[in-house]
Amino acid sequence: MPIDYEKVMSLKSEGIEASYSDRESILYALGVGFGRDPLDAKELSYTYEKDMKTVPTLPAVVGTAGLGIMIETGINFMLMVHGEQRLTIHKHMPAAANLKLNSRIAGAYDKGADKGALLVIESEGEDADSGDKYFTQAMTLFCRGDGGFGGPSDGAPEPHQIPDRDPDNSFEVETLKDQALLYRLSGDRNPLHCDPDFASAAGFPAPILHGLCTYGSVCRGILVNEFDYDNTKMKSFDARFSSPVFPGETIIIETWRDGNVLSFRARLKDRDAMVLNNGRCEFAD
């Protein structure tokens, strides 16, 4: 069935309760690559519950309970891919918290019957006890089989433009061959990331790394190399997914600083593939 625009734009979920502990915070940090040197105090600050910091992109796994509204959109999930992930940080998340989550369809854009559709799902997370807002995040879904439903064609979020000059900085982030096996324990058990037969049937020579694991791994690289592990520096973290990573590959991150905005993109060291593009990270002075 085609997307029912009026129905889709009315979809929302409010006050969904979710909780996480330091176990989930530690597991996520390990899954995106923290703790490779367990004797490094700065690495340990993300992987040990004593005076623990949390990775800024933690909402990508602990803030998803309200996203069940996707099922009601009627899109063809077999032809859907994750296009973009955007995150605004209002208050940095503690190691453990009880959350209330509100989600809604923020936009549905018709690119044409032969070009597909874009669906933007926005969610907010707040502390269930204090009411303090922690984050607003949005995911853009590229629905290749759902164009031609008659919705607006314009108005979708525009990708951030990378500066037209040489990068100001570049550095490498290594992924491990078993990284997808660890990251999937944060919630995404899709067999595409662990089952060689399933990956082969999907057209891949081997299981691929979760897109949000790549997103978190690039966040880690920037946090370490641009902000010296200070998670309070990050105010937002947006990126567009371009190509999958195979566990064990090395990612090269390039960055540009302009005022309080860090532009970034990430490509593979040994393959000609851009994995994240149009990256934008707003940071504090």
Contact in structure between 137 and 87 (CB atoms under 8 Å): yes
Enter the tokens of residue 219. Answer: 């966040």
Contact in structure between 112 and 148 (CB atoms under 8 Å): yes
The helices-and-strands tally (H runs, E runs) of the chain is 7, 10
Contacts of 272 (CB under 8 A, 6+ apart): none
For residue 188, indicate whether it is catalytic: yes
- Identify which of 104, 106, 107, 113 has the alpha carbon closest to the alpha carbon of residue 144: 113
From the candidates 146, 193, 210, 238, give the one annotated as an active-site residue. Answer: 193
For residue 210, indicate whether it is catalytic: no
Across the beta sheet with 261-268, what order do the strands follow? 12-20, 97-110, 117-127, 133-143, 80-89, 238-241, 274-282, 261-268, 250-258, 169-174
DSSP state of 157: P
From the candidates 4, 127, 168, 188, give the one annotated as an active-site residue. Answer: 188
Catalytic residues: 188, 193
